[in-house]
Amino acid sequence: MPQRNRPDLPHRQEKSKKSASGRVEESRLESTKSVPEVTLQEELPAIVQEHPEDAPAGWAAVQQKLAATTGLSVLLVDGRQPPALVASNNNSICHAFQSSMEYVALCDPYCGDAHRRALSAGSAVSYKCHAGLQCFTMPVHIGREQNLAAIGGRAFVNAEDYRNLVDRFRAGELNDLLPSEPFENVIFAEPQRLDQLSERLQKAVGSFNAAAAAVTPAVAEHEEAITVTPTGAGANVATVERSPDLQGEVDRLRSELDHRSQLAQSLQRFLERISSREPQKTYQAILKHSMELLRAERASLWVFDEDSNEISLKAALGFAVTAAEVIPNRMGEGISGGVLESGKALVVSDLEGAGLTAAPAERKYRTKSFISYPITMRGRKIGVLNVADKTGDDKFDDVDLSLLEILGPQIAVALESAEWHERATQFQLMSITPMS
């Protein structure tokens, strides 16, 4: 089934490349007779990347959330890949290579063989593919499915690997892939983030199995407690006796699972609305949707720079001044700097009553209530979101804060993604700048 969409056709051979020591590394792939490019482009179909209908029921949503919160690719496979059972946040470079009948063979020794390598090792295995992407594969047991493996990462962990791939495009080696938009969703990450993904994936599998195990016995016991009593010989009418306590517990478990699923879907939609490949659009979208949810008329977004130890205003809505007119603050300075330093949100119903200094009159705040919320991810400080002037002159309260607590991780993911897109743009500019 995993290779059902891949007929036996000749593929491109990975060109020889020089290693760091200057020696030439021969491709792992055997030489094959080339096929005219025009025939390939016009007649060969794209390879299907996933068939989620064959994945364990309910797992796809868990995997999508994990990929969204980590910003990395996660795939569930049951054999050679592609196709995967589920592919979440797939790196666009991988999608371009593995959708092409002509180029997919370049990936076969790496992600294509990941399922076998994971099950043979019985533990996580790290590798770097021909495109320079850092990945790992590991066996996973989901429910009754024992013959599964996960692929995670698919990220550039240094600029040199990314530049080497760009050079292959510049040399014309991979130009046939450009219509597939290989740079649409390029993923960058520090190596430790892949390690963290591996750990979180193991925990997610454990939690998923535990939740399934908690529901299944309760449903089975409930079914055993049902008795059918005929009302007469040959009668088709039956009376059903149920255990009220057991039925209530089953209903509660199902309701909780439905609520969690709906919440996960809502958060995923929120993340999609605030995410963009253009950082400035991401900043504006975060403010716009946060203001709508919290019924605020003003909002500002500050982002932390670890190198300078400063927070800078990236976007503001409802203010007369622009972000460029506001100078950065040091960590700990002002309300935003103090909130980020402490890591604790500030919910103020009355500015002066809380002993805080009022803003200058020219800023024309209507109310004295606001929230200043620190945005963090796995202990890393990312920025601060401020909302003020609640509509109807109402005051912000702990209910508003609880909503931000739910949305905070999604905002952090969007901001981190925006940061990596900025880096990707810088890397691309570097790659096309002539060497001196």
pLDDT digits (tens, 9 = 90+) for 381-395: 999 999 999 988 888
Stated as kind and residue range, the H or E segment containing 284 is helix 279-294
Cα–Cα dist 252/246, whole Å? 10
- Position 229 pLDDT exceeds 50: no
Which amino acid appears at position 30 of this protein? E
Q: How many residues are recorded in the chain?
A: 436
- pLDDT confidence band for 252 (50 / 70 / 90): low
Between CA 178 and CA 161 the distance in angstroms is 19
Q: Which residues contact 96 (CB under 8 A, 6 or more apart)?
A: 103, 177, 180, 181, 182
Lowest mean pLDDT among 3-7, 252-256, 268-272: 3-7
Q: Of the given ranges (15-19, 22-26, 185-189, 210-214), which has the lowest mean pLDDT? A: 22-26
Q: Are strands 238-241 and 227-230 parallel, antiparallel or unpaired?
A: antiparallel
Q: Pick the residue with more confidence: 273 or 344?
A: 344
Q: Indicate the residue type of 204.
A: A
Residue 343 reports pLDDT greater than 70: yes
- What value does the mean pLDDT take over residues 227-255? 48
Distant-in-sequence, close-in-space partners of 359: CB < 8 Å, separation ≥ 6: 365
Q: Render pLDDT for 43-92 as a digit per residue (tens, 0 to 9).
A: 557 788 899 899 998 899 999 999 988 889 999 999 998 999 999 999 99
CA distance 271 to 287: 13
Whether the predicted pLDDT of 275 surpasses 80: no
Phi, psi of 63 (to 5 degrees): -65, -40
The mean-pLDDT minimum among 88-92, 184-188, 216-220 falls in 216-220
Ramachandran category for residue 343: left, alpha or beta (phi over 0 → left; psi -120 to 50 → alpha) = left
Domains of the chain: 17-207 (no CATH), 279-432 (3.30.450.40)
Q: Look at residue 181 in the predicted model and tell me its pLDDT.
A: 83
Secondary-structure percent of the chain, ordered helix, strand, coil, rounded to 5: 45, 20, 35
What whole-number distance in Å separates Cα of residue 275 and Cα of residue 265? 15
- The pLDDT of residue 214: 66
Residue 107: pLDDT over 60: yes
Mean pLDDT of 307-312: 90
CB 64 within 8 A of CB 76: no
User: Lowest-confidence range among 80-89, 139-148, 169-178?
Assistant: 169-178
The CA distance from 68 to 85, in Å, is: 18
**Tokens representing 379?**
């202990």
DSSP β-ladder status, 346-348 and 145-155 = unpaired
Token output for 130? 């021909």
The arithmetic mean of pLDDT across residues 300-308, rounded, is 90
User: 145-155 and 134-142 as β-strands: parallel, antiparallel, unpaired?
Assistant: antiparallel
Q: Does the structure show a pLDDT above 90 at 112?
A: yes
| Alpha-carbon distances of 91 from 77, 101, 147, 152, 178, rounded to whole Å | 16, 18, 24, 11, 14
Residues 6+ positions from 79 with CB-CB distance below 8 Å: 1, 2, 3, 115
Lowest average pLDDT, out of 47-56, 86-95, 169-178, 266-275, goes to 266-275
At residue 8, the pLDDT reads 45
How many Cβ atoms from other residues are within 10 Å of residue 121's Cβ? 13
165 pLDDT band, cuts 50/70/90, is confident
In this prediction, residue 21 carries a pLDDT of 33
Percent of the chain past pLDDT 70, that is, above it, reads: 72
> Residue 89: what pLDDT?
92
pLDDT tens, position by position, 363-418? 788 888 999 999 988 788 999 999 999 988 888 888 788 778 878 888 888 888 77
Distances (CA, A) of 399 to 70, 354, 368, 370, 405: 27, 19, 18, 13, 10
pTM above 0.85, yes or no: no
Conformational region of residue 327, where left means phi above 0, alpha means psi within -120 to 50, and beta covers everything else: beta
Q: Is pLDDT at 197 greater than 90 in this prediction?
A: yes
User: What is the model's pLDDT at position 356?
Assistant: 83
